C-alpha cells in the first residue's frame, strides 16, 4: 500500500484515491496505473534530475524514484519496462539493494533463473539480513534444479 495525504496518490488492493482537502474520489485501480507512473515520474525523477544537475540531488533519491516507477510498471505487468527502471535505479545507486531484489523477482517470474540468482545474491551482498532476498534465492535455486531435472 502506498499512501500520502492531500493531493497525493493512495493505493490499496483495488482502488486508487486521489486525496484532496475537500474529500476522496475513488477510481478503479486499472484505469490509473499510468497516472500513478506519470505522477511519480513528475514528482521524483524530473525534480531530482533538475536538482541533480544542480548538484543538490543525491543518487539515492534518483534510485528510489526509478525503483518506485518500476514498481508501478511491475504492477501493470510491463516487465520489460520495469526491468529498465530497476536497472536505472541500480545505475543511479549501486548500493541500493531493493532494485536488485525487484529485478530478480521479474527474472524469476520469466524463468531467467541465472539472472534472478545473480540479482538476489547482489541484494544479499549489500544487505545480508534481507529476508525476502534469502527466501527468493533459495526458491530460485530449487526451481532452477527442478528445471534441469526435467530436462528443460
Give pTM, 2 decimals: 0.65
CA distance 43 to 62: 11
Quick one: which of 70, 136, 67 has its CA closest to 98? 67
**What integer pLDDT is reported at residue 46 of this predicted model?**
59
The CATH number for 96-152, chosen from 1.10.155, 1.10.3470, 1.10.20, 1.25.40, is 1.25.40
**What integer pLDDT is reported at residue 34 of this predicted model?**
54
DSSP 83-144: HHHHHHHHHH-TT-HHHHHHHHHHHHHTT-HHHHHHHHHHHHHH-TT-HHHHHHHHHHHHHH
CA distance 71 to 33: 10
Question: By the 8 A CB rule, do 114 and 145 touch?
Answer: no
**What integer pLDDT is reported at residue 42 of this predicted model?**
57
Q: Which residues of the chain have pLDDT under 50?
A: 1-32, 54-56
Domain boundaries, the chain: 1-31, 32-94, 96-152
**What integer pLDDT is reported at residue 10 of this predicted model?**
37
Amino acid at each position: 500500500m502506498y499512501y500520502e495525504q492531500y493531493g497525493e496518490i493512495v493505493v490499496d488492493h483495488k482502488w486508487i484515491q486521489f486525496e484532496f482537502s475537500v474529500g476522496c474520489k475513488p477510481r478503479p485501480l486499472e484505469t490509473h496505473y499510468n497516472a500513478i507512473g506519470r505522477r511519480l515520474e513528475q514528482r521524483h525523477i524530473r525534480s531530482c534530475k533538475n536538482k541533480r544537475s544542480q548538484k543538490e540531488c543525491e543518487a539515492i533519491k534518483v534510485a528510489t524514484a526509478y525503483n518506485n516507477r518500476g514498481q508501478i510498471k511491475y504492477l501493470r505487468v510491463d516487465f520489460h519496462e520495469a526491468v529498465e527502471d530497476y536497472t536505472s535505479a541500480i545505475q543511479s545507486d549501486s548500493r541500493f539493494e531493493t532494485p536488485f531484489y525487484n529485478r530478480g523477482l521479474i527474472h524469476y517470474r520469466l524463468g531467467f533463473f541465472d539472472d534472478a540468482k545473480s540479482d538476489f545474491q547482489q541484494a544479499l551482498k549489500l544487505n545480508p539480513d534481507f529476508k525476502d532476498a534469502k527466501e527468493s534465492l533459495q526458491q530460485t535455486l530449487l526451481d532452477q534444479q527442478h528445471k534441469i531435472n526435467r530436462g528443460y
